[in-house]
Amino acid sequence: MSSILNGIPYVFVAAPLFAFILNNAVPRERMRSHAVALSGGVAALQLAAAILGFALLAASGRGEVRFGLFWSVDAAGAAYLRVNLVSLFLLLCVGFVALASALTAAKTIDDHRCSFANLFMALLLGMNGMLLATDLFTLYVFLEITGTASFVLIAMYKSSKGLEGAFKYLTMSALATIMMLTGLALLFMHTGSLAFADLGAAALSGASGEMDILCYGALALLISGFAIKAGAAPFHSWLPDAHQSADTAVSILLSGIVIKIAGAYGFIVLVELFGDLYAVRLSVAALGVATIAFGALLALVQTHFKRIAAYSSVSQVGYILFGIAAGSPLGLVGALLHVFSHAAFKSTLFSGAAALHEQLGTLDIEQMGGLQKNMPVTGFASVTSFLSAAGVPPFAGFWSKLLILISLWQAGWIGLSAAALGLSILTGAYFLRLQKKVFFGPRNPRWDDVKEIGGTIRASQIVLSAVNLGAGLCFPLVLLYLQSIGLI
């Protein structure tokens, strides 16, 4: 049993690498048609491996599984890679969103297929690497890889004029890089080693018992760096423009999982290491409130379908930050489950956007109207994503939000919990406006002859809606399973 468990972590690194090599080895003409299928296969493999790994690891009861591919892992001070329950769950989410993106990409991406596959693998490697890293510097390196890969994916299909969104993403990432590197440098200077094991509030306080200014500065810079990557409130400016100029398949990846792994996972690590420092959790909570409020308010006034979805992602990241800020295991579980449910309903929404773009040619919601009649599947999928995002009970979104609210209330932040509840009515507001303008409102004669989208996008919409509803309905079973492995 443990042999399989030890083998599984290798899949997450070997599979994308092998696919990358295969993608470039086979001559371009034949590879063109299978490139996206290959990336879909890799995503599916990762998803399966993560599920199997999670089950085995939970059953085996071992905290984590260390591995170093060619080297022994027990050398002193070795920066090995490891896999634990949190990272396995996030790897599962990565696989799930990558699969959804591949399904959409099969329809929407018709040129540069090989390059898309290459960058898809690079992005996958970046994210997997971040989740497997055991020290802050490796985490930063893989963060940069994810950043570069997603920048190129965004800028890939645009003419020189359309590079504006990608350019904004690049400049903001550069700012994040500067801050994170200085933070890491300050930390390294103070503690001598960046491995998770050595770091921790105790290590930081050192002999004198209280933190000196530089360590506070380091933490502040690290938090703002991850905030930019996560698209938290004051730093979210790049997200909508990046989404508007990126292809829909890339948008699914970007808002479905990249901002979660690059941003939220960073916060998970920080709170895990320096959680008992009240300032860290307070600043994450403050970011959370600002993110939800700004995201929702801005989403309410947009006229482009994907910008609304982008701001909605910004807003939902706020809830994940809330879960992390609570600091309790229940909060962490809530945040992770919200990562999964957000991935599910955001991918649904974006595949809806892809369908609309394919069939109508435009994504300006002012020109749409009453499409429920012509495009019932897309309409139904958008309703499931609305209900799950707004936290309407039978859907997955509600349960994860509920856990986050309970953890916030138990952490003593009653005001924040009430604010989260109040702001979720804003979530409902902008989704209802979207429904009214696009699907539910009076019919626009211009789209009378529009037919429903076919192929993989319809399949992905149906599967994703089923996941949204299914995860919600059998959530009590998930709770029982989590209790059996002692997480709640």
The residues in 373-402 that bind other proteins, with binding defined as CB under 8 A, are 373, 387, 390, 392-394, 398, 402
- Rounded least distance, CB 351 to other proteins, Å: 21
Q: Does 483 bind other proteins (CB under 8 A)?
A: yes
Site string for other proteins, 85-124 (x = CB under 8 A): --------------------------xx--x--xx--x--
- Rounded least distance, CB 330 to other proteins, Å: 8
Residues 155-174 that bind other proteins (CB under 8 A): 156, 164, 167-168, 171-172
The greatest distance separating any two alpha carbons of the chain, rounded to the nearest whole angstrom, comes to 74
Q: Which of 26, 44, 85, 148 binds other proteins (CB under 8 A)?
A: 148
Q: Does 80 bind other proteins (CB under 8 A)?
A: yes
- Rounded least distance, CB 370 to other proteins, Å: 6
Q: Which of 61, 208, 278, 449 binds other proteins (CB under 8 A)?
A: 278
- Rounded least distance, CB 442 to other proteins, Å: 6
- Rounded least distance, CB 1 to other proteins, Å: 26
Residues 12-41 that bind other proteins (CB under 8 A): 13, 17, 20, 28, 32
Reference 341, options 320, 326, 364; nearest CA is 320
When the beta carbons of 1 and 207 are compared against other proteins, the nearer one is 207
When the beta carbons of 85 and 220 are compared against other proteins, the nearer one is 220
CA distance 315 to 429: 13
CB 99 within 8 A of CB 50: no
CA distance 465 to 467: 5
Q: Which of 323, 331, 370, 397 binds other proteins (CB under 8 A)?
A: 370
Q: Does 450 bind other proteins (CB under 8 A)?
A: no
CA distance 123 to 247: 15
CA distance 149 to 98: 14
Reference 40, options 465, 470, 459, 471; nearest CA is 459
Sign for the pseudo-dihedral over CA of 396, 400, 403, 405: negative
Q: Does 318 bind other proteins (CB under 8 A)?
A: no
Total residues binding other proteins (CB under 8 A): 115
- Rounded least distance, CB 398 to other proteins, Å: 8
| Binding segment toward other proteins, per CB under 8 A, in 41-49, 85-93, 213-221, 265-273 | 213-221
Q: Which of 31, 37, 55, 68 binds other proteins (CB under 8 A)?
A: 68
Reference 305, options 255, 233, 354, 249; nearest CA is 354
Reference 176, options 143, 153, 137, 154; nearest CA is 143
When the beta carbons of 162 and 394 are compared against other proteins, the nearer one is 394
Q: Which residue has the tokens 């003419």?
A: 159
Q: Which of 22, 48, 78, 201 binds other proteins (CB under 8 A)?
A: 78
CA distance 122 to 22: 13
Q: Which long-range contacts (CB under 8 A, 24 or more apart) does 144-147 make?
A: 144/177, 146/258, 146/261, 146/262, 147/173, 147/176, 147/177, 147/229, 147/262
When the beta carbons of 37 and 148 are compared against other proteins, the nearer one is 148
CA distance 47 to 95: 4
- Rounded least distance, CB 79 to other proteins, Å: 4
Burial group, residue 125, by CB count within 10 angstroms (0-12, 13-18, 19+):
buried
When the beta carbons of 203 and 392 are compared against other proteins, the nearer one is 392
Residues 335-364 that bind other proteins (CB under 8 A): none
H-run or E-run covering 239: helix 238-245
CA 73-143-241 angle, to 5 degrees, is 165
Residues 296-315 that bind other proteins (CB under 8 A): 297-298, 300-302
Q: Which residue has the tokens 């979210």?
A: 236
Q: Which of 255, 283, 312, 359 binds other proteins (CB under 8 A)?
A: 283
When the beta carbons of 1 and 31 are compared against other proteins, the nearer one is 31
Site string for other proteins, 218-247 (x = CB under 8 A): -xxx-xx--xx----xxx-xx--x------
302: helix, strand or coil:
coil
CA distance 374 to 388: 23
Q: Which of 425, 446, 454, 455 binds other proteins (CB under 8 A)?
A: 425
Phi, psi (degrees; rounded to nearest 5) at 304: -105, 130
